[in-house]
Amino acid sequence: TPGSGKTPLSLAFDAVRGSLTDAVVVPAGYTAQVLIPWGTPLNSQAPSWREDLSFTPQIQANSVGMHHDGMHNFALDENNASSNFLLAMNNEYIDQGALWAPQGGPTNAAEGARPADEVRTEINAHGVTVVEVKKDGEGRWRHIPNSSYNRRFTSATEMELSGPVAGSDYVKTKYSPDGTRTRGTNNNCANGYTPWGTYLTCEENWPGYFIKDAGREMDDNRIGISEGRGRYGWETAAGDASEVDDEFARFNATPRGNAATDDYRNEPRTFGYIVEIDPYTGARAVKRTALGRFRHEGCWPGKLVEGEPVVFYSGHDSRNEYIYKFVSDAVWDPADANRPGANYDRLALGAKYMDKGTLYVARFNADGTGEWLPLTPEAKTQDGRTLAQALGLAADDLAGVIIHTCDAADMMGATPMDRPEWGAVDPASGDVYMTLTNNSDRTAEGTAATYTNGGSDIDELGVGYGTAPTNGPNPRADNSGGQVIRWREGSDATRFNWAVFVFGAAVNDADNFSGLTELNQFASPDGLHYDDRGDGQGILWIETDNGYDNVADYTNDQVLAVVPQNVNQAEGDAAVIGGGDQAQLKRFAVGPNGCEVTGIFFTPDKTAMFINIQHPGNWPSTEDATVETQGSVRPRASTVVIQREDGGEIGV
Ligand code: FEO
Ligand code: CA
Ligand code: CA
Ligand code: CA
């Protein structure tokens, strides 16, 4: 029972039915406004959006990026933080069809050399957008063109490496012979933020942008760097390999000479990190390597306690990959809390809390307990060797352990999960929620992974999973519905207790374990946000990125709300399979055809909810997000602001 003596929080809207239209659907009494769609000019160096606008590198570098995903709000002044703030947003990847619509599509998308300016434009459509936004007197939201805060970080922007990997031989390249810098951040999916006022952007599906045709190493195979051609063929714009052009050849990590002076074999090792951005200043972004190297979906701060370490959670979104926790060496000093709008060195605080600490990976036991397994060179693996020995590294090579985070996690006996995506933390209880979106490679028995190198299978040190056997938090084979799990930290930093919070499913599925109905059936949970409403109560918002037909035939991707019931889970309690009593799970909004719904935050006064509509098929056509598109439009990922007509708090 929540909040003793307090009125229990209740969802005061009528759940919306499924929808299969080119429009956003919200409950009666709510509005939805399109804000900062892709291609919105941030300053006067870019023209206004037009249906037939031809993008150039210059235009895209000065406009909102493509495929909006995770985002967060940063107050400029505490007194008007609900009507004027900086919005920092990920631009995860691109829709080449929409980007190159006036030209009839991209040039040489699948074979042949890509033109340099098309590649530069695509690079500039990726990354992060920082933009000042403001609510006007009529309750409409606008971005502020030419605000001095408006800024883009792209897949070409110079960034610093920090933490254990920085300066190591693993990341020395022709561009940065001392291994301290790299260019760009890629595939910024979900996000995070820090108590000291910085934005965290997370590198997820970056391996697909690099190729390596020879000299492949253990981590290239484990993490999925391919041979042949990159996702958009950016490396082909370099032209003849004998006259290496840094700008594009860096996406081809094939060794050509000396690692530190001649080539980019180590370029992929400068990706796969949590990247810290100070949205208030022009400071260079920093890749915080201590938090591990993998396909980071996002990064969420744990419960903050004065005098205790700062904790961050992160999941690796690939089938049968793992959940991680970083625990800082430094303990939290409230004097380090953000001072909105002020211009000072927040990244020095990032260095204090994120460059030194311990990275752990999660093992979930069948009885509802769990353990955090340290990924340090001296940690003892399942076979009794140290992790450094097992990985073939020097005894104190923490940088090497981080470069091989996934292999290290295998060796420690981490639990393979059903694609960990977003996390969310209840700041009162410290309970952590995480979406496990789906897993087609979950079977009853499981098989070991095989990796290929030049066409022949090789036996790698790390084992990984081809298919993983079902286990406690991942109990369904060929899991299409996905689930949300919850855990609570135990009495020391290495133990926790977990339960499945809710299972996604279609109404008539045999494994509809959570008893979903037409008004709340969902599959493939992805975005997640714990919306604290005080008194130890809050609303958990779940966003979907679904491809499961039994639900997709009924509704497009959606946002659901649930008031979590407190299970008072004690150490050693059994898992609550089915999620207990989650009767208040309701569908709140539905996105347009073709999209996923992602990115989420609320203004501090809870009167405006910001979400992102990514990869819509034929939307938006008007500023009113709920107007169905007539005919066809050039689709644009957009932020959508949902508000109540009466200006009240969202959801209650
Ligand atoms: Fe970019 Fe795992 O979603
Ligand atoms: Ca996405
Ligand atoms: Ca996602
Ligand atoms: Ca997803």
**Amino acid at the residue 589:** A
Task: State if residue 297 touches ligand 1 by the CB under 6 angstroms criterion.
Answer: yes
DSSP 5-60: TSPPP---SPPPPP--SSS-B--TTEEEEEES-TT-BSSTTSPPP-TTPPP-HHHH
User: Which atom of ligand 1 approaches the CA of 317 most closely?
Assistant: 2
Confidence of residue 260 (pLDDT cuts 50, 70, 90): confident
SS3 call for 568: coil
Number of the ligand closest to the Cα of 205: 1
Task: State if residue 421 touches ligand 1 by the CB under 6 angstroms criterion.
Answer: yes
- What is the pLDDT, as a whole number, of residue 572? 42
Q: Is the pLDDT of residue 580 over 70?
A: no
Task: State if residue 203 touches ligand 1 by the CB under 6 angstroms criterion.
Answer: no
Expressed in angstroms and rounded, the spacing between residue 330 Cα and the centre of ligand 1 is 30
SS3 call for 429: coil
Task: State if residue 418 touches ligand 1 by the CB under 6 angstroms criterion.
Answer: no
Tokens standing for 651?
């959801």
User: Which atom of ligand 1 approaches the CA of 297 most closely?
Assistant: 2
User: Which atom of ligand 1 approaches the CA of 295 most closely?
Assistant: 2
Q: Is the pLDDT of residue 467 over 60?
A: yes
Expressed in angstroms and rounded, the spacing between residue 297 Cα and the centre of ligand 4 is 9
- What is the pLDDT, as a whole number, of residue 3? 43
Expressed in angstroms and rounded, the spacing between residue 73 Cα and the centre of ligand 4 is 22
Expressed in angstroms and rounded, the spacing between residue 529 Cα and the centre of ligand 4 is 15
CB 154 within 8 A of CB 91: no
DSSP 228-252: S--TT-GGGGG-STTS--HHHHTTB
- DSSP classification of residue 147: -
Q: What is the pLDDT of residues 498-520, one digit of tens each?
A: 989 999 999 999 999 888 999 99
Expressed in angstroms and rounded, the spacing between residue 544 Cα and the centre of ligand 4 is 7
User: Which atom of ligand 1 approaches the CA of 205 most closely?
Assistant: 1
Say how far apart CA 335 and CA 353 lie, in whole Å.
13
CB 87 within 8 A of CB 610: yes
Q: What is the pLDDT of residues 11-52, one digit of tens each?
A: 999 999 999 999 999 999 999 999 999 999 999 999 999 999
pTM strictly above 0.90: yes
SS3 call for 387: helix
Task: State if residue 436 touches ligand 1 by the CB under 6 angstroms criterion.
Answer: no
Q: Is the pLDDT of residue 569 over 70?
A: no
Q: Of 43, 39, 98, which Cα lies nearest the Cα of 64? A: 39
Give Cα 176 distance to the centre of its chain.
27
User: Which atom of ligand 1 approaches the CA of 598 most closely?
Assistant: 3
Q: Of 35, 62, 31, which Cα lies nearest the Cα of 636? A: 35
Task: State if residue 122 touches ligand 1 by the CB under 6 angstroms criterion.
Answer: no
Confidence of residue 218 (pLDDT cuts 50, 70, 90): confident
Task: State if residue 543 touches ligand 1 by the CB under 6 angstroms criterion.
Answer: no
Expressed in angstroms and rounded, the spacing between residue 472 Cα and the centre of ligand 2 is 27
User: Which atom of ligand 1 approaches the CA of 437 most closely?
Assistant: 2
Task: State if residue 596 touches ligand 1 by the CB under 6 angstroms criterion.
Answer: no
Number of the ligand closest to the Cα of 544: 4
On average, the pLDDT of the chain sits at 93
Number of the ligand closest to the Cα of 321: 1
Task: State if residue 204 touches ligand 1 by the CB under 6 angstroms criterion.
Answer: yes
Task: State if residue 92 touches ligand 1 by the CB under 6 angstroms criterion.
Answer: yes
Expressed in angstroms and rounded, the spacing between residue 344 Cα and the centre of ligand 4 is 36
- C-beta neighbour count of 622 within 10 angstroms: 15
SS3 call for 348: helix
Comparing 260-264, 281-285, 291-295, 349-353, which segment has the lowest mean pLDDT?
A: 260-264
- What is the pLDDT, as a whole number, of residue 522? 97
Number of the ligand closest to the Cα of 422: 3
Expressed in angstroms and rounded, the spacing between residue 642 Cα and the centre of ligand 1 is 23
Task: State if residue 321 touches ligand 1 by the CB under 6 angstroms criterion.
Answer: no
- What is the pLDDT, as a whole number, of residue 299? 98
Q: Is the pLDDT of residue 570 over 90?
A: no
User: Which atom of ligand 1 approaches the CA of 545 most closely?
Assistant: 3
Q: Of 271, 240, 244, which Cα lies nearest the Cα of 255? A: 244
Task: State if residue 317 touches ligand 1 by the CB under 6 angstroms criterion.
Answer: yes
Q: Is the pLDDT of residue 385 over 90?
A: yes
Expressed in angstroms and rounded, the spacing between residue 614 Cα and the centre of ligand 4 is 11
The larger pLDDT score, comparing residue 87 to residue 219, is at: 87
Q: Is the pLDDT of residue 649 over 50?
A: yes
CB 439 within 8 A of CB 479: yes
- DSSP classification of residue 102: G
Mention every residue, 6+ apart, whose C-beta is less than 8 A from residue 233: 108, 109, 110, 111, 113, 114, 119
Give the closest residue (by CA) to ligand 1 atom 1: 189
Instruction: Please write down the HEC assignment for all residues of 512-546.
Output: CCCCCCCCCCECCEEEEEEEECCCCCEEEEEEECC
Task: State if residue 118 touches ligand 1 by the CB under 6 angstroms criterion.
Answer: no
- What is the pLDDT, as a whole number, of residue 461? 52
Number of the ligand closest to the Cα of 68: 2
Which residues have CB atoms below 5 A from the ion given as ligand 3? 421, 526
User: Which atom of ligand 1 approaches the CA of 187 most closely?
Assistant: 1
User: Which atom of ligand 1 approaches the CA of 204 most closely?
Assistant: 1
Task: State if residue 94 touches ligand 1 by the CB under 6 angstroms criterion.
Answer: no
Q: What is the pLDDT of residues 187-204, one digit of tens each?
A: 999 999 999 999 999 999
Task: State if residue 426 touches ligand 1 by the CB under 6 angstroms criterion.
Answer: no
- What is the pLDDT, as a whole number, of residue 565? 74
Q: What is the ipTM of this complex?
A: 0.95
The pLDDT of 146-156, averaged and rounded, is: 98
CB 473 within 8 A of CB 414: no
The larger pLDDT score, comparing residue 138 to residue 261, is at: 138
Instruction: Please write down the HEC assignment for all residues of 583-609.
Output: CCCEEEEECCCCCEEEEEEECCCCCEE
Expressed in angstroms and rounded, the spacing between residue 174 Cα and the centre of ligand 4 is 35
Say how far apart CA 153 and CA 264 lie, in whole Å.
21
User: Which atom of ligand 1 approaches the CA of 421 most closely?
Assistant: 2
Say how far apart CA 377 and CA 395 lie, in whole Å.
6
Which residues have CB atoms below 5 A from the ion given as ligand 2? 69
Say how far apart CA 320 and CA 317 lie, in whole Å.
9
Can you give the residue ranges of every domain in the chain?
38-296+323-355
Q: Are strands 151-153 and 127-135 parallel, antiparallel or unpaired?
A: antiparallel
- What is the pLDDT, as a whole number, of residue 579? 46
Say how far apart CA 464 and CA 469 lie, in whole Å.
12
Expressed in angstroms and rounded, the spacing between residue 91 Cα and the centre of ligand 2 is 9
Q: Is the pLDDT of residue 440 over 50?
A: yes
Confidence of residue 566 (pLDDT cuts 50, 70, 90): low
CA distances (Å), 519 to each of 12, 22, 269, 556, 557, in order?
15, 20, 45, 13, 13
Give the closest residue (by CA) to ligand 1 atom 3: 189
Expressed in angstroms and rounded, the spacing between residue 552 Cα and the centre of ligand 2 is 17
Residue keyed to tokens 């009113």: 624
User: Which atom of ligand 1 approaches the CA of 189 most closely?
Assistant: 1
Give Cα 278 distance to the centre of its chain.
18
Largest CA distance in the chain: 74
